[in-house]
């Protein structure tokens, strides 16, 4: 038991719960504001909260352009593009649980690219776990996609989220490995990521949606939750996990997204949970175990060559 890192476990649990609440929270807020406008208000709140915290704690400083532009890139990809694609898919009729399923393809892309970008190669054991997890993601999609009214093309929209968050995660990881790059405190980094996202959202929110918003109590609560617990809490936990464990292992946590999101959608919207969703969940758990657990550590006599 002494080898268990309870802080990392707590970060994983918090990340999974907060991150996946973002899918159902965003869907809940769509009747009151369309995707770009909803995201604009969300990141207006995030930027304001972070700026206030940084000023009160006297941790704020203006970054040079060389320091700031990587944070803008990461923010636009990991926040703006990721969330825009997910929200548009939901707007087009793709259920939040299915969006989470498709987004769960990210571990495969991260595993394939991490060795090239960071030099931290994915082991055969991790690849085995990723493939098992992918099967758990694919099965519910196959059995659900036929009965949904959205066209097949609409199911491709969340792939933009996969590409964006994969590139952002690996770019962040690469910068951590480069000793010549001066690191930026995580809270300050998140502020500039949120600011970059906010800036790029102004144009589409104004041009395509005219900032139309219904300021109901439900919308205020939704935006508050998405701003504080998802955009701040979940992203903060994700970057902390990337600092503690490999990007591949962090990415494998996205496999927990579909069952968690489907459960939340069932509670809030009454979305039906199919038998294949449960089967997929069990397969995903197995894949996660293979990806996360160092079997050589606990079973030193294991004959299977996993490396």
Of 241, 247, 292, 252, give the one whose Cα is nearest residue 8: 241
For residue 68, the enclosing domain spans 6-298
Q: Looking at the domain assignment, is residue 271 inside a domain? A: yes
| Residue 196 to residue 274: CA distance in whole angstroms | 39
Number of domains into which the chain is organized: 1
Q: Looking at the domain assignment, is residue 17 inside a domain? A: yes
| Residue 130 to residue 231: CA distance in whole angstroms | 26
**What is the model's pLDDT at position 269?**
75
In contact, 296 and 306? CB cutoff 8 Å? yes
Q: Looking at the domain assignment, is residue 173 inside a domain? A: yes
Rounded to an integer, the average pLDDT of 119-139 is 77
295 CA to centre of own chain: 27
Token code pair at residue 68: 């700031």
**What is the model's pLDDT at position 225?**
93
Model pLDDT for residues 235-288, shown as the tens digit of each residue:
788 878 877 877 667 777 777 777 788 788 888 777 777 787 788 778 877 877
9-13, 215-219, 285-289, 290-294: least confident range: 290-294
**Residue 244 burial (10 A CB sphere; 0-12, 13-18, 19+):** middle
Token code pair at residue 108: 């495969």
Q: Looking at the domain assignment, is residue 121 inside a domain? A: yes
**What is the model's pLDDT at position 2?**
45
**What is the model's pLDDT at position 200?**
96
**What is the model's pLDDT at position 294?**
65
Give the pTM: 0.79
E strands within the chain? none
Most confident among 19-28, 147-156, 188-197 (mean pLDDT): 188-197
């Amino acid at each position: 038991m002494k080898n268990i890192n309870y802080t990392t476990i707590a970060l994983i649990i918090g990340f999974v719960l907060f991150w996946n609440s973002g899918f159902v929270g965003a869907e809940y807020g769509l009747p009151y504001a369309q995707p770009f406008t909803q995201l604009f208000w969300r990141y207006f709140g995030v930027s304001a909260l972070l700026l206030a915290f940084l000023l009160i704690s006297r941790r704020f400083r203006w970054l040079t352009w060389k320091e700031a532009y990587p944070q803008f890139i990461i923010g636009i990809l990991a926040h703006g593009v990721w969330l825009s694609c997910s929200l548009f898919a939901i707007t087009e009729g793709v259920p939040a649980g299915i969006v989470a399923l498709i987004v769960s393809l990210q571990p495969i892309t991260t595993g394939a690219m991490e060795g090239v970008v960071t030099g931290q190669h994915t082991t055969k054991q991790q690849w085995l776990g990723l493939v098992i997890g992918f099967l758990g993601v694919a099965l519910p999609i196959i059995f659900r996609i036929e009965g949904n009214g959205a066209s097949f093309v609409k199911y491709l929209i969340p792939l933009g989220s996969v590409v964006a968050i994969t590139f952002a995660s690996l770019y962040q990881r690469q910068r951590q490995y480069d000793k010549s790059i001066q690191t930026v405190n995580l809270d300050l980094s998140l502020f500039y990521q949120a600011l970059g996202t906010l800036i790029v959202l102004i144009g589409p929110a104004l041009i395509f949606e005219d900032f139309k918003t219904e300021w109901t109590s439900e919308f205020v609560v939704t935006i508050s939750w998405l701003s504080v617990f998802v955009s701040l809490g979940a992203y903060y936990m994700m970057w902390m996990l990337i600092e503690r464990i490999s990007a591949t292992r962090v990415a494998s946590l996205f496999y927990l997204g579909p069952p968690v999101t489907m459960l939340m959608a069932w509670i809030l919207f009454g979305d039906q949970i199919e038998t294949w969703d449960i089967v997929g969940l069990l397969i995903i758990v197995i894949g996660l175990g293979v990806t996360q657990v160092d079997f050589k550590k606990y079973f030193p006599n294991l004959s299977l060559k996993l490396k």
